[in-house]
Amino acid sequence: MTETVLSRRPDMTGELPFPLFTESTDRLIHAIQGRFTQGLSPASLLLAYLDWAAHLANSPGKLAELGQNAAAKAMPLLHHAFRRLCGERQPDPFVPLAHDSRFDGPAWQLWPFSALSQSFLFTEQWWHYATSGIRGVGRHHLQVVEFTARQLLDMAAPSNFPWTNPEVLQTTLAQGGLNLVRGMQNLADDVARAASGQALGSTAQFVPGQGVAVTPGKVVLRNRLMELLQYAPATDAVQAEPVLIVPAWIMKYYILDLSPHNSLVRWLVARGHTVFIVSWKNPRAEDRDLGMADYRRLGVMAALDAIAAILPDAAKVHGVGYCLGGTLLAIAASAMARDGDDRLASLTLLAAQTDFEEPGEIGLFIDESQVTYLEDTMWDQGYLDTRQMAGAFQMLRSNDLIWSRMVRQYLLGEQEHGNDLMAWNADATRMPYRMHSEYLRQLFLDNQLAKGRYLVDGRPVALSDIRAPVCAVGTTKDHVAPWRSVYKIGLLTDTSVTFILCSGGHNAGIVSEPGHPHRRYQIASRGAADRYIDPDTWAATAPGYDGSWWEAWESWLRRHSAGRVPPPPLGAPSRGYSPLGEAPGTYVLTA
């Protein structure tokens, strides 16, 4: 389906305007370009570099400082290289960032590889200095230039090439080159998988309904946009208030119902909670006009109506939203509060933003030029393709997700063993044209929700109207929803807020089951009338605990529950909600 956009302008004689197809032509050209640029706007990158280059060229003091910095750091580098050549052990003058483990191995301490790694780190630090602290450059442009420079440097790192990576050279000598033979086979397999549309890595055993998403339950509602799953009780009594989970539709729902040992859904059911979860449809071109209002109406509100029919005696519902689903749930909760709908007993936001002023590194891909270009790319096909999203997220962690993997797979010849989280991550979904455009413009660009300008049914909603207690969960290494941004819910609401900060990233930090090693979290609550505490002070003063945040959160849920009751039936045929099949349903299986 192709949308025709008509522009109008006066003709040469000043008569009535006539239709032109100029905008459609431009959009088509941008859509074709986007297939080669993975949706990244060349104009956006060019504007950022022109802004940086022009201001740097007009800053002789900064240029002199960069030259002085290079000269001052070159001497320790040369001294270190000479001492290592002579066989002396000298402390490294340049230290990699905390998360950078490329040069940790002992082989990198030997000449000439120590000189190569130190030269790279020297160059990396110098470019960081050259792309920061330049007066007059727009903050967003400076961030884009710094990020792009880092990407280009990571491509050229000595660890990425067999002749400059001592670990690869040692392995090649020890194995007689067999590692490179296996690496070529791994590369050929990955190329074949990519050509056929299959996920990279060995994840075939993690199929929803088989290896993952196996918690017993029923599909109790299906509409154009989602299936609602209700899980079978596992205890003789359950909490009176059910739990409704609204995941993000950028990925499949079973991130919260992975393998039995790390399924949040199964864990909640085992502790006496009645759990419902939304399983979003993977949209196609015919769904291009589905917007944020449709996701709220056919998703959150339809699920709440179904729960009210299936559990008529349940006074309220614990709403839980993850990532983009949490943002949608916050919008729905604000509209419900505005309209006097008090069906929410509590609101839990898992790595979900409600204020998009500081969205983290994902904001590098969002400005007026980039959003317009992305809209044109989606306009042609009706949706945002999974590969376009995956490319952007991989670039945020290119060291771990691209280059380190290439070294292991193609140079060291190691076979990648997939796990359930990797399988889920590869099981991406599309994003409808209208919804994604509204999401980027209204939330990321205009920040309408935090400013009280976001419209629901033609009227603005305010997060400050929410009176249900809120629990917000952030993760320390989140590149998608930085925890300080998640923390802002305490500024925007006038209710009690409990904030939990847990170790890990956007996905692995949330999937943090009890017994998972090396997990830690902090938790603290504030009342509606308590004074504000800034995030850094909170992190420095909030008590910390070893283990999984799940247990602290589940205790919080029970404190806001009314007690235990007999388990409810699955569905309600007499009220129009007959079970339609077994969980995980059909939408989750649609590619």
Catalytic residue among 86, 323, 471, 502: 323
CA pair distance 221, 306, nearest whole angstrom: 7
Report strand pairing: 383-384 vs 431-432: antiparallel
Handedness of CA 532, 534, 537, 539 (dihedral sign): positive
CA pair distance 457, 434, nearest whole angstrom: 17
Instruction: Write the DSSP string, 295-362.
Output: HIIIIIIHHHHHHHHH-TT---EEEEEETHHHHHHHHHHHHHHHTT---EEEEEEES--S--SS-GGG
Helix/strand/coil (H, E, C) string of 147-197? HHHHHHHHHCCHHHCCCCCHHHHHHHHHHCCHHHHHHHHHHHHHHHHHHHC
End-to-end CA distance of the chain: 20
471 is catalytic: no
The residue with tokens 């305010």 is 462
CA pair distance 520, 49, nearest whole angstrom: 41
Instruction: Write the DSSP string, 235-256.
Output: SSSEESS-EEEE--TTB-GGGG
How many Cα neighbours within 13 Å face the side chain of 443? 19
CA pair distance 46, 360, nearest whole angstrom: 21
Find the helix or strand (DSSP H, E) in which 269 lies: helix 264-270
CA pair distance 274, 232, nearest whole angstrom: 8
φ, ψ at 577 (rounded to 5°):
-125, 60
Helix/strand/coil (H, E, C) string of 7-35? EEECCCCCCCCEEECHHHHHHHHHHHHHH
Handedness of CA 146, 149, 155, 159 (dihedral sign): negative
- Say if CB 351 and CB 474 are below 8 A apart: yes
Q: Which of 345, 294, 265 shows the shortest CA–CA distance to 557?
A: 345
Report strand pairing: 238-239 vs 243-246: unpaired
- Give the residue numbers marked as catalytic: 323
